């Protein structure tokens, strides 16, 4: 319950911040470009609280449904407008003004992401060193000559600071499906140039590392049981948070990955697990559940998170920190890099090369918000920056009910010298609403599947 409360609170804060700045972009430019603003709302539905400015007459409100917001502007299409006020109506101003007003929302989200990453880079980004484990036999990583404990220094000539950097770089390069040069430093300190074959790399990021045979090196350490899912095999067997797992089916366990591999190797079976709790050794015998992996093969499922003593990972931790000036171009580059990657992934998803199961809705966002908030301020700010980028990009899709659809209409009007007919615009709005509802349905469906394991 506490976890859900944290996730809910973090979600409300995240959505509140991002929606506020998005709508403020529309609001600020509308006022500067001569359009009268009637209402600035955070949330949809019934008003919870608000006030009206005596000076401007603008109504500011917080509404009941915290899944968005809007700026209501004077518009003849939405009601009668006094003759004296018509020059301030949104529909009366030149298309270029409307384009700027509409584009300002996503634009401010991008600016926010840059500022957020600038702050994060100055505070210091904690990460895990990009040290590789033993590659899977006959995998592209093994054929490239990667060895256990190779430290990745660069990919395609670009420096790699941590494991997350390596993941994002490989996902991006994997979409090109071409060999990529990798610079690694071995245990003896010497550097080697390797060629990693990405020719047959899958577009789906979830399958990429498994196909390449790449894993993160895990220093020898006894894995610990983290959060136990209610009703799971772990819960029914009596496993508790903090239990140290010593062996599974007689096989000694010396790392989290070894535990994962041992559990997955026994789908649907009763498996003896030896643990240490409060200094005492004991055994439990859960009957593992059965799930399917990304190749539709059956794998065992315990239903518990796996953690490790942080001290065991001390030498694997790294902190990347920059000064105020150096952090500016780095923040811009980070935002640009993630924006381009997100656009490429969205494009692959639209054409069916990436599974729609990757689409997440409010529940997944809330989960990630809660997890990042628990990690710390830097992680939560990074999460806000990433979501802000995606909020901007999704809003720029040429779907009529989104900002991108309005931009398309106004651009056509500017080129033609007159707007599209009301019938065409209405048809576009209806089609856009159907598309948006379908996307929301997919997102909620995926959220529910994740909740069900």
Catalytic residue IDs: 23
Tokens encoding 113: 């992401």
Q: What angle do CA 380, 386, 392 make, to 5 degrees?
A: 130
Cα torsion at 193, 197, 203, 204 (round to 10°)? -70
- Alpha-carbon Rg for the chain in angstroms: 26
DSSP conformation letters of 218-279: --S--EEEEEEPTTSHHHHTT--TTPEEEEETTEE--SHHHHHHHHHTSTT-B--EEEEETT
Tokens 């301020």 correspond to 377
Would you say 24 and 109 are in contact if contact means Cβ atoms under 8 Å apart? no
HSE of 166, CA atoms in CB hemisphere, 13 A: 24
- Which residue bears the tokens 């640009």? 336
Which uninterrupted H or E stretch holds 450? helix 422-451
Answer yes or no: are the C-beta atoms of 217 and 315 closer than 8 Å: no
Residues in a beta bridge with 128:
317
Judge contact between 21 and 109, C-beta under 8 A: yes
Q: What is the DSSP letter of 287?
A: B
């Amino acid at each position: 319950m506490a976890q859900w409360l944290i996730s809910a609170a973090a979600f409300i804060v995240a959505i509140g911040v991002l929606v506020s700045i998005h709508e403020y972009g529309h609001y600020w430019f509308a006022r500067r470009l001569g359009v009268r603003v009637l209402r600035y709302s955070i949330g949809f539905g019934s008003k919870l609280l608000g006030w009206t400015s005596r000076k401007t007459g603008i109504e500011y409100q917080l509404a009941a449904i915290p899944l968005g917001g809007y700026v209501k502007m004077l518009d003849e299409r939405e009601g009668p407008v006094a003759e004296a006020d018509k020059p301030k109506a949104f529909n009366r101003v030149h298309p270029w003004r409307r384009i700027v007003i509409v584009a300002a929302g996503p634009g401010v989200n991008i600016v926010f992401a840059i500022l957020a990453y600038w702050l994060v880079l100055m505070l210091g980004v904690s990460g895990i060193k990009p040290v590789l484990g033993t590659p899977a036999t006959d995998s592209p990583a093994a054929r490239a000559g990667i060895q256990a404990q190779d430290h990745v220094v660069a990919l395609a000539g670009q420096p790699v600071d941590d494991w997350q950097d390596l993941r994002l770089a490989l996902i991006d390069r994997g979409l090109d499906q071409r060999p990529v040069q990798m610079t690694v430093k071995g245990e003896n300190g010497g550097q080697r140039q390797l060629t990693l074959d990405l020719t047959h790399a899958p577009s789906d990021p979830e399958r990429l590392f498994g196909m390449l045979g790449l894993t993160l090196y895990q220093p020898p350490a006894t894995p610990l049981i983290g959060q136990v899912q209610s009703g799971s095999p772990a819960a029914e067997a009596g496993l508790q948070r903090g239990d140290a797992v010593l062996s599974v089916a007689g096989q000694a366990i010396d790392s989290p990955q070894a535990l994962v591999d041992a559990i997955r190797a026994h789908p649907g079976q009763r498996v003896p697990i030896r643990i240490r709790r409060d200094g005492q050794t004991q055994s439990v015998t859960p009957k593992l559940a059965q799930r399917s992996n990304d190749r539709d093969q059956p794998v065992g499922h315990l239903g518990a998170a796996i953690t490790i003593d942080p001290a065991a990972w001390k030498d694997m931790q790294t902190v990347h920190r920059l000064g105020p000036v150096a952090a500016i171009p780095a923040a811009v580059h980070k935002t640009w890099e993630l924006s381009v990657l997100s656009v490429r992934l969205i494009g692959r998803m639209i054409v069916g090369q990436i599974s729609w199961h990757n689409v997440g809705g409010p529940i997944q966002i809330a989960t990630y918000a809660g997890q990042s908030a628990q990690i710390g301020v830097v992680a939560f700010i990074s999460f806000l920056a990433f979501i802000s980028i995606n909020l901007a990009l999704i809003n720029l899709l040429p779907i009529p009910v989104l900002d991108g659809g309005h931009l398309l209409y106004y651009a056509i009007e500017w080129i033609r010298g007159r707007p599209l007919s009301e019938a065409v615009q209405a048809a576009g709005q209806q089609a856009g609403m159907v598309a948006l509802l379908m996307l929301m349905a997919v997102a909620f469906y995926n959220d529910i599947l994740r909740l069900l394991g």
